Amino acid sequence: MAKTHNLGYPRIGKNRDLKRSLEAYWNNDIAEQTLNEQVQTLREQHYQTFTHLDFAQAGDFSLYDHVLDTSFLFGNAPARAKRENNNESYLDSYFRIARGRSSKRDCCPTHAGEMTKWFDTNYHYIVPEFSKTTTFKLYADTLLSEVKQLQARGLDVKPVVIGPLTYLYLGKSLDDTNKLDLIDSLLVAYKNLLHTLAENGVKWVQLDEPALVTELNADWLSAYQHAYDTLQNSGVKILLASYFGSLADNLKVVTKLPVDGVHIDATRAKHEVAILAKALNDSQVLSVGIIDGRNIWRTDFTEALTLLNPIAQLKQDKLWLAPSCSLLHCPVDLNAEQNIHPEILPWLAFAEQKLIELEILSKALHTSSQTDQDSVQAALAQNKRAIDQRKQSSLSTNKLVQRALTNIKNEWLHRSDDYATRIAQQQKSLKLPLYPTTTIGSFPQTSQIRKTRQAFIRKEITQQQYEDALKENIAYCIEQQEQVGLDVLVHGEAERNDMVEYFAGHLNGMLTTAYGWVQSYGSRCVKPPIIYGDVSRSNDITVAWTQYAQSLTQKPVKGMLTGPVTILNWSFVRDDQPRSLTTQQIALAVRGEVQALEAAGTGIIQIDEAALREGLPLKQSQWPEYLRWAVDAFKLCSSGVRRDTQIHTHMCYSQFNDILPDIQRMDADVITIETSRSNMKLLDAFNAFNYQNDIGPGVYDIHSPNVPEVESITNLITQAASKIPAQRLWINPDCGLKTRDWAEVRPALTNLVAAAKALRAQ
C-alpha cells in the first residue's frame, strides 16, 4: 500500500487557539509557562491528525513563522534579538525579531525582521538576514523535543525542515555578500542536524525546497548538486520536497541529486509526475502531492486515480501520497461550518477532510479486504456525485455577467487625461499641502466593535442599533484624525471584518465562512472567501458609510475599496475557469462601486491592490501574461472617473524593481507602499526607473507595536526625497491600522504629522 504522509498542518487550531495564547502572552496576561502549557495542549490536537498517516511530521508547528524558526534553529538570529547581560528566554529573542518587541514588559523595542510573502501564497514570513559575518550553529533542542514527544506515542516521525538552498533563497543580504558564499558554512549545520536526528531514532527527514519551482540560474543549480552531495550519508533518508509549481528545467537536476525520495506537486505539475516516476531509480521514493493543499475544493478521485494507478504499478512500494504542500494554507475543519449553501458544501474539503481523502485514495490503490473494498467504493461513488453536481450546478453560471464581459470596450481601460493634467486639476480642488498625510484605510478594530458585530450576527441587536454603533465609531475615527491633523481622512472601516471578506459578503458568486480561518502571519488570521461562481455586484457597498464620514468633516475622506486582483489572490478561487476571467468579473463589480462613490461626491478613491505582486507566477517567463491581465483589471475598475477624481492604490511587501513599468501602467494618481521595515531600501528601484506619479512610502511599521519617533520618520522621508521629488511624496503608515490599538496609533500618527510639518518648514 502507498504510504501516506503530510507536509504540514494548520497551526492555529480550530478556534484560533494559538492567536489567543500568543496575544495574551504579548499583553502580559499570561506567563511564559502558561503559554507553553496552552501551546502543548494545541500540539496534542495537532498530533491527533497524524494517527491515520504512516508518518507524523515534526517541525511544522510554529509559534510565529517556520522560516524564523529555521533562522533560530541554525543560530542565524540577528544580534539585536538578544539583550546584553540579560538571561531572557528564547521566546523574548524570537518575538523581538518577529514583531519588534517580545511583550509589553519589553522595555527596549527593536527593528523587527522584514516580512514578505511566502512564494505566491498569502502567508508572510520573516526574511532571514545574511552578511559577510554570518555564521551558523545548530540549536536543535526545540525540534528534538517535539520528535521525542511523537516517538513516545509510538509514531514514526518525519521532521520537516526548510532545505538549505531555499533558506538562502528566501533571505536578504545586508551587504554585498553573495548568499551562495554561505552555503558551506550552512551545510555544516545541516549535516550536524541530520546526524543528531539519526542519533535520536529518526529515519526520514523532509527537506523543503520550493525554490526549485522557480527559474534558477546555473550557480544555484550547481549549488543544489553540491549541497545534496554534501548531505548524503548523514544517517537519515532525505525526502526532497518541491511544491507550488512544476520543476520544469530543474527536473533534470533533481533526478541527479543523491536523495532517497522526491515530492512533487501533482496539482500544479501533473504532467511531470510520470516523467519523474520513470527518472527516479528503483530505490528512490516518489511522493505524489495529489491533494491540493492550496485550495478548498474536493479532490476529483476519478481524475486522481487515473494519474496514480500507472504510477503505483511502476513504483509499487516506493510510492507515497500526500497533499501538494503544507495544509497551512487551508482552514482546519469543514464540519464546523453550518451556514454554507447545502448544494455547495459537498464540493468542499478543509484540512481534516483532505487527510481523509488521502486515506481513501491510498486504500483505493491497494484494497484487499471486502470491507475495505465496499467502503472505498462507497466513498468513490459519493465523490463522483459531488464532482458531477458541481459541474452541472446553475450556481456557477450567471449569463448576465458573461454578457457584460463581452461589452467591455478598450477605452474603459484608460483615463481620459494624462497624469500631469489630472494631478493639476486634483490639486486645485483638494488644495493639499506639501507632503500630504493620510493613512491606508483601517483603524483599530476594538474589542467593542467585534462584540457589537457578533451581537448583530447572533441577532441580539437590531440592524438600526448596529448601524448606530458603527456610525459612533466612524465619528470617533474622524474626530481622532482631525485632532491629530491628518490631511486626507478615512472612515476607519469599522463595518469590515476583513478587506476581502467584507466585499465577498456583498458580491454574488462568492461566499464567506464562519470558521474558515487561515494564518496570514503570527497571530493574524483571515477567512478567505470562496469564489464558487460568476461574480457581480447588485447594490452599493461602501457609499453610505463614506458619505456619512464625509458629512462630519471639511477635509477630504477617501472611499476605500479592495481591488480585483487582491480579491482574487486572497480568496479560494474557482478552479473551473481561468483566473484572468474571474478577475475581470470582479473588476467590473468594483468599477460599478467606484462610479457610485464618485457620483456620491467622493473626490479620492483608494483601490487597494495589496496582493498584485504576490500573484506573479513563480517562473519569471510567465510574468508578462499575468501582469497584462492583472494591470488591465485594475485599469478597468479605476479608469471610468473624471480627471479631478484622485485614484489611490496600496501595495504590501513588494519588491518593485522588476515590475515598475507595470505599476506605472496602472496609472494610479497615488500609490502607497510598504518601505519601513526595509528602511526605504525598496525605493532603490526608483533610482533606475523614472516613476511619474505620486507615491507614499510607508514610514510606520504597523505590524509592530513600536511607536515611530519624529526623527525616524523625518529621516525616512528625507531618504525617499533623494529618489522621488518632494512634490510627489505622501506620508503614511505602511499598511492599515486594524491590528493596532488606539494607545499606539494616536502617538504614532501625531509623530507622523509632526514630521510632515517639520519637513514642510525645511
Q: Is 445 helix (H, G, I), strand (E, B) or coil?
A: coil
Q: Each residue of 722-737: pLDDT tens digit?
A: 888 999 999 999 888 9
pLDDT attached to residue 732: 92
Q: Which residues are part of a known binding site for L-homocysteine?
A: 440-442, 493, 608
Mean pLDDT, to the nearest integer, of 748-760? 95
Domain boundaries, position 635: 420-506+541-761
Q: Quick check: is 493 in a domain? A: yes
> Is the model's pLDDT at 370 over the cut of 70?
no
What does the block give as the cell for 41?
Answer: 495542549
CATH label of the domain that carries residue 494: 3.20.20.210
Indicate the range of 299-313, 597-611, 655-669 predicted with least confidence: 655-669
pLDDT attached to residue 673: 84
> Is the model's pLDDT at 756 over the cut of 70?
yes
Q: Quick check: is 607 in a domain? A: yes
Q: Each residue of 573-606: pLDDT tens digit?
A: 999 999 999 999 999 999 999 999 999 999 999 9
Q: Each residue of 236-287: pLDDT tens digit?
A: 999 999 999 999 999 999 999 999 999 999 999 999 999 999 999 999 999 9
Q: Which residues are part of a known binding site?
A: 19, 117, 122, 440-442, 493, 524-525, 570, 608, 614, 650, 652, 674, 735
Q: Each residue of 483-510: pLDDT tens digit?
A: 999 999 999 999 998 899 999 999 999 9
> Is the model's pLDDT at 667 over the cut of 70?
yes
Q: Quick check: is 589 in a domain? A: yes
**Residues recorded for the chain:** 762
Helix axes 32-48, 17-26, angle to 10 degrees: 170
Query: Residue 368's pLDDT band (boundaries 50, 70, 90)?
Result: low
pLDDT attached to residue 362: 94
Indicate the range of 61-70, 280-289, 720-729, 740-749 predicted with least confidence: 720-729
The distance of Cα 197 from the centroid of its chain, to the nearest Å, equals 31
For the chain, state the CA radius of gyration. Answer: 26
> Is the model's pLDDT at 477 over the cut of 60?
yes
Q: Quick check: is 450 in a domain? A: yes
pLDDT attached to residue 641: 97
Query: Residue 187: which residues within 8 A CB-CB, separation 6 or more?
Result: 164, 227, 230, 231
Query: Residue 679's pLDDT band (boundaries 50, 70, 90)?
Result: low
pLDDT attached to residue 565: 97
Structural domains counted in the chain: 1
Q: Rounded to whole angstroms, what are the CA distances from 36 to 63, 153, 313, 472?
A: 10, 20, 46, 40
What does the block give as the cell for 626?
Answer: 499575468
Q: Rounded to whole angstroms, what are the CA distances from 625 to 226, 579, 617, 619, 662?
A: 35, 12, 9, 12, 11
pLDDT attached to residue 479: 97
Q: Each residue of 403-431: pLDDT tens digit?
A: 999 999 999 999 999 999 999 999 999 99
Q: Which amino acid would we find at residue 412?
A: W
Q: Is 703 a catalytic residue?
A: yes
- The DSSP-derived string for 241-294 is E--SS--GGGHHHHHHS--SEEEEETTT-HHHHHHHHHHS-TTSEEEEEEE-SS
Q: Which residues are part of a known binding site for Zn(2+)?
A: 650, 652, 674, 735
> Is the model's pLDDT at 82 over the cut of 60?
yes
Query: Residue 367: which residues within 8 A CB-CB, separation 6 or more?
Result: 373, 376
Catalytic residue among 5, 46, 329, 703: 703
Burial tier of 133 (Cβ tally within 10 Å: 0-12, 13-18, 19+): exposed
For residues 661 and 28, give the distance between their C-alpha atoms in angstroms, rounded to a whole number: 47
Residue in 491, 463, 620, 654 with CA at minimum distance from that of residue 557: 491
Mean pLDDT, to the nearest integer, of 284-301? 98
Between 176 and 216, the more confident residue is: 216
pLDDT attached to residue 551: 98
Query: Residue 677's pLDDT band (boundaries 50, 70, 90)?
Result: low
For residues 500 and 497, give the distance between their C-alpha atoms in angstroms, rounded to a whole number: 9
Q: Which residues are part of a known binding site for L-methionine?
A: 440-442, 493, 608
> Is the model's pLDDT at 367 over the cut of 80?
no
Between 105 and 571, the more confident residue is: 571
Q: Which amino acid would we find at residue 213?
A: V
> Is the model's pLDDT at 686 over the cut of 80?
no
Query: Residue 296's pLDDT band (boundaries 50, 70, 90)?
Result: very high
